[in-house]
């Protein structure tokens, strides 16, 4: 089968033939239809310091996908060929205390698809049945392909009660823009987004953000003054990974307010802990998705009319991966989706 593989310790990926993955009793074999390119894949493509420290080569890349089941293992009861599926890309150990307590998002032995084990940028993948999510009938393939970052946004937004609240989001990348959409859907009274990239600010507005502000020193303070708000935001999400943005988030949340941290700064960032303490701020780390609560919430949000489609700005066939990665690395893109094959239409 064809796959996009990091074969050598250098920039780029190779579109090569590799053997189809083997299959166990508890696994399903999936034909990949669409995949999304994540920032993680761009780091691996570039072969930056994080990728060099983290990956063992060769490695099939990718973790955002939708596919069609083609085979189920003898020990798999509830799934069948023809079903349109995604998967939780953090493969959990099922043995640690958190897994056994049903908190699989806190698993201590989690392995990332396309990072610690071979990923989904391939014609076929096999995955444990316990990690599979079956999509609602009629879902758009593009939207199903981006359930992973959509899930990050839903996990973040649903960590807090946003109804009637004022919300700041620093970073209007795919996750920040989707969080704005979910926050509006959940009834937030005011959703403001910052970014240094005008294209992405526009995208966040298309997805529902009420205010989109170019990030610059003093910009959030000016927005608060313009809006006549003499307090900070009730809830602030850091979704850029930029240290200056993290500072903006922490300093513009209201007294007694809540901060959701999802962005990953490349280095440790100092913070004014005394200020956070005296203002009684709650800081909540957010990673991945809740398995599978977040997935159920995504299904309901789509059914209720939330539409992430405007976020998908580029589509390429898998063999045009160079063009696709160039688009994903460049500023004027939301999500970039690769096509691997079409559904057979086999009834599930």
The catalytic site residues sit at: 40, 43
Residue number of the CB closest to ligand NAD reads: 173
* 178, 162 contact by CB (below 8 A): no
Query: Using an 8 Å Cβ cutoff, are 267 and 100 in contact?
Result: no
- Rounded CA gap, 314 and 338, in Å? 9
95/333 Cα distance (integer angstroms): 40
Are the CB atoms for 149 and 335 separated by under 8 Å? yes
Pairing of strands 190-195, 166-170: parallel
Question: Residues near 124 by Cβ (< 8 Å), separated by ≥ 6?
Answer: 1, 20, 21, 29, 30, 31, 32, 70
Taking CB under 5 A as the binding criterion, the range among 101-109, 120-128, 138-146, 202-210 that sits at the site for Zn ion is: 101-109
Q: By CB under 5 A, is residue 93 in contact with Zn ion?
A: yes
251 binds ligand NAD (CB under 6 A): no
**Interface region with ligand NAD, contact rule CB under 6 A, candidates 10-18, 183-191, 259-267, 291-299:** 259-267
Do β-strands 132-134 and 59-60 pair in parallel, antiparallel, or remain unpaired?
unpaired
Smaller CB distance to Zn ion: residue 103 or 327? 103
Pick what 266 binds: ligand NAD, Zn ion, none; C-beta below 5 to 8 Å, kind-dependent: none
Instruction: Give the DSSP letter of residue 38.
Output: P
Query: For 171-210, where are the E strands, in sequence order?
Result: 190-195
Among 73, 82, 241, 310, binds ligand NAD (CB under 6 A): 241
328 binds Zn ion (CB under 5 A): no
Q: How far is the CB of 173 from ligand NAD (least distance, A)?
A: 2
Residue 86 pairs with which residues in a beta bridge?
Answer: 133
**Closer residue to ligand NAD (CB): 309 or 344:** 309
62 binds ligand NAD (CB under 6 A): no
Spatial distance between the Cα atoms of 20 and 2, rounded to a whole number of angstroms: 9
State the sign of the Cα–Cα–Cα–Cα dihedral 265, 268, 270, 271: positive
Q: Is 107 in the site for Zn ion (CB under 5 A)?
A: yes
Pick the binder of ligand NAD from 143, 172, 191, 220 (CB under 6 A): 172
Site size for ligand NAD, by CB under 6 A? Answer: 28
Interaction partner, residue 58 (Zn ion, ligand NAD, none; CB < 5-8 Å by kind): none
* Residue of 35, 92, 110, 194 interacting with ligand NAD (CB under 6 A): 194
As a whole number of angstroms, the distance between CA 176 and CA 169 comes to 6
User: From the list Zn ion, ligand NAD, none, which binds 96 (C-beta under 5 to 8 Å, kind-based)?
Assistant: Zn ion
CA angle 190–192–195, rounded 5-degree value: 170
67 versus 149: smaller Cβ distance to ligand NAD: 149
Peptide bond into 62 cis (omega under 30): no
180 near Zn ion (CB under 5 A): no
Q: Does 294 bind ligand NAD (CB under 6 A)?
A: no
Binding of residue 240 to ligand NAD (CB under 6 A): yes
- Residues near Zn ion (CB under 5 A) are 92-93, 96, 99, 107, 109
- Residues near ligand NAD (CB under 6 A) are 39, 149, 152, 170-176, 194-197, 200, 215, 239-242, 244-245, 262-264, 286-288
């Amino acid at each position: 089968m064809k796959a996009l593989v990091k074969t050598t310790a250098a920039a780029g990926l190779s579109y090569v033939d590799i053997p189809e993955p083997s299959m166990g009793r508890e696994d399903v074999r999936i034909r990949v239809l669409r995949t999304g390119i994540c920032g993680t894949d761009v780091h691996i493509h570039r072969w930056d310091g994080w990728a060099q420290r983290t990956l063992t080569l060769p490695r099939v890349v990718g973790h955002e996908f939708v596919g069609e089941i083609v085979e189920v293992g003898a020990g798999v009861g509830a799934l069948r060929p023809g079903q349109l599926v995604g998967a939780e890309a953090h493969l959990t150990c099922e043995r640690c205390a958190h897994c056994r307590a049903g908190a699989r998002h806190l698993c201590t032995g989690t392995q990332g698809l396309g990072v610690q084990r071979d990923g989904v940028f391939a014609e076929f993948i096999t995955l444990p049945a316990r990690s599979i999510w079956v999509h609602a009938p009629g879902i758009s393939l593009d939207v199903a392909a981006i359930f992973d970052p959509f899930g990050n946004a839903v996990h973040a937004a649903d960590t807090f009660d946003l109804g009637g609240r004022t919300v700041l989001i620093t970073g209007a990348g795919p996750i920040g823009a989707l969080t704005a959409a979910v926050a509006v859907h959940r009834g937030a009274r005011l959703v403001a987004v910052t970014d240094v990239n005008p294209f992405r600010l526009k995208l966040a507005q298309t997805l529902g953000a009420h205010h989109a502000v170019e990030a610059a020193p003093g910009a959030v303070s000016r927005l608060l003054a313009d809006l006549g708000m003499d307090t900070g935001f009730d809830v602030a999400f850091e979704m850029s990974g930029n240290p200056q943005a993290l500072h903006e988030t922490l300093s513009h949340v209201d007294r007694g307010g809540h901060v959701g941290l999802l962005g990953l700064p490349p280095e440790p960032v100092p913070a004014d802990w005394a200020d956070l303490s005296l203002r009684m701020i709650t800081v909540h780390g957010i990673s991945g998705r809740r398995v599978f609560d977040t997935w159920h919430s995504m299904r309901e949000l789509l059914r209720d009319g939330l539409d992430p489609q405007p976020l998908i700005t580029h589509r390429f066939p898998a063999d045009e991966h160079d063009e696709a990665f160039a688009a994903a690395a460049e500023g004027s893109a939301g999500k970039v989706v690769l096509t691997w094959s079409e559904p057979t239409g086999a009834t599930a």
